[in-house]
Structure 1
Amino acid sequence: MYASAIINFHELSPATLCDVITNKFHLPIEHTAAQIMAYFNLEKQEDSSAPATADLQQLLFVKLQTEISQLIRKEATILFPVIRNITTHNTGKKSIQPAAYDSVLQSFQKILLLLQKIRQVSANYLLQRHWSSAYKICISDLYSLEQLTQQWIYVEQNILYPAAMPGHAPAMQEDEFNNQLSID
């Protein structure tokens, strides 16, 4: 039996959090999204057992993947280098601008809304016996992507950005995290 380590994100410096987020969330999210897209692009056309909602799932997923990719790119190339610089050099000269943080929050809201819509059209990811193995794996991957993405957003909103931007309260409290957005 293997021991598993639990990361206490609150104990990590903002610079270290950037590295952990990249490895624990960004990379697995991108990998899982690529697997889902491979199903939609390569296997769905041949899959007669996929429900009619698979087309809508694909449309929503493409929007989700685009939004996630843009945010990950922005964090990797702009925001995380600034956070690392702030904590490494401890200079007050360069910091994350509130407008940049607001842009991240808007992206988070779009991502969470798209995840909610995908969950809705996917009937809460309940697998059906008559679906192909490939489609079942796709649905399972969609669920995994949702879980990883929600954890990523929670860690950033409640730990990373408040630590990197003193004076900014977390955008979302833990008890309201899963119930924040509505698709109405």
Structure 2
Amino acid sequence: MYPFAIINFHELSPAALCDVVVNKFHQPIENIADQVMAWFNLEKQEDVTVPAAADLQQLLFSSIQAECTLIIRKENSVLFPVIRNAAVHNNGKKALQPAAYESIRQSFQKILLLLQKLRQVTGNYLVQPQWSSGYKICVSDMYSLEQLLYQWLYIEQNILYPAVLPPNTIIIRQEELINTVSID
């Protein structure tokens, strides 16, 4: 048996959580999203095995990537520096005001709805034997990205942002992370 490290995110300070989020989620999410979009943009047109729904998948995935990029930029350029600075200078005061977080919350909710729709149009990411290996890898990467996104949202919504926002600030609740909301 190989030992492995399990991160107890609850034990980390908000500043340390910012670093973990950047390394464990932001960077891998951007990399996987770029790979998926590269396949859609460069190989999809040549692949005769893709289903008709691939165009809709590309549109939905592109929207997810845009929302993720928006959140990542806001967190890296605005929110995380404030959280890190508060760790040094605030002596335990809450680092963020609810208004600073509101656009992040709205983007997370859009991502959740888009993920649900993407799951529907990919047939729950089930690959078909007749598909090309490139498209199968693309579908697998979309699924991997979905899993990373859910982990990222969970950690931020249940650990990071509650630690730095004033009490009673509305965040995305656990039940919203489950695929129960529809945009149909």
- TM-score normalized by the length of structure 2: 0.93
Deviations 1:42-63 (A, max 9, x none): 1101100010000000011111
Aligned-residue offset at 1:96: 1.6
Could you tell me which residue of structure 1 aligns to residue 46 of structure 2? 46
Q: Distance in 1 between matches of 2:82 and 2:130?
A: 50
Stretches of structure 2 lacking an aligned partner (at least 5 in a row):
none
Aligned-residue offset at 1:99: 1.3
Could you tell me which residue of structure 2 aligns to residue 146 of structure 1? 146
Aligned-residue offset at 1:90: 2.1
Could you tell me which residue of structure 1 aligns to residue 66 of structure 2? 66
Is 1:160 matched with 2:160? yes
Q: Distance in 1 between matches of 2:94 and 2:172?
A: 25
Could you tell me which residue of structure 2 aligns to residue 133 of structure 1? 133
Deviations 1:126-156 (A, max 9, x none): 0100000000000000000000001101100
- SS of 1:123 mapped into structure 2: coil
Q: Is the deviation greater in 24-33 or in 93-102?
A: 93-102
Sequence identity of aligned pairs in percent? 66
Aligned-residue offset at 1:107: 0.5
Q: Which amino acid aligns with 1:110?
A: K
Q: Alignment RMSD, CA only?
A: 1.8
Could you tell me which residue of structure 2 aligns to residue 17 of structure 1? 17
Q: Distance in 2 between matches of 1:161 and 1:40?
A: 34
Q: Which amino acid aligns with 1:89?
A: H
The answer to whether the Cα contact below 8 Å between 1:157 and 1:170 also exists between their aligned partners in 2 is: no
Aligned-residue offset at 1:95: 3.4
Q: Distance in 2 between matches of 1:110 and 1:147?
A: 16
The answer to whether the Cα contact below 8 Å between 2:98 and 2:169 also exists between their aligned partners in 1 is: no
Aligned-residue offset at 1:172: 3.7
- SS of 1:99 mapped into structure 2: helix
Q: Which amino acid aligns with 1:134?
A: G
Stretches of structure 1 lacking an aligned partner (at least 5 in a row):
none
Q: Is the deviation greater in 32-41 or in 86-95?
A: 86-95
Q: Which amino acid aligns with 1:39?
A: W
Counting matched residue pairs gives: 184
Aligned-residue offset at 1:103: 1.1
Q: Which amino acid aligns with 1:102?
A: E
Deviations 1:88-125 (A, max 9, x none): 22258883221121111100000111111111100000
**Correspondence 1:55-134 to 2 at 5 A:** 55-90=55-90, 95-134=95-134
Aligned-residue offset at 1:176: 4.8
Aligned-residue offset at 1:169: 5.5
Deviations 1:46-91 (A, max 9, x none): 1000100000000111111111101100000000000001112225
Q: Which amino acid aligns with 1:40?
A: F
- TM-score normalized by the length of structure 1: 0.93
Q: Distance in 1 between matches of 2:62 and 2:173?
A: 28
Q: Is the deviation greater in 173-182 or in 72-81?
A: 173-182
- SS of 2:178 mapped into structure 1: helix
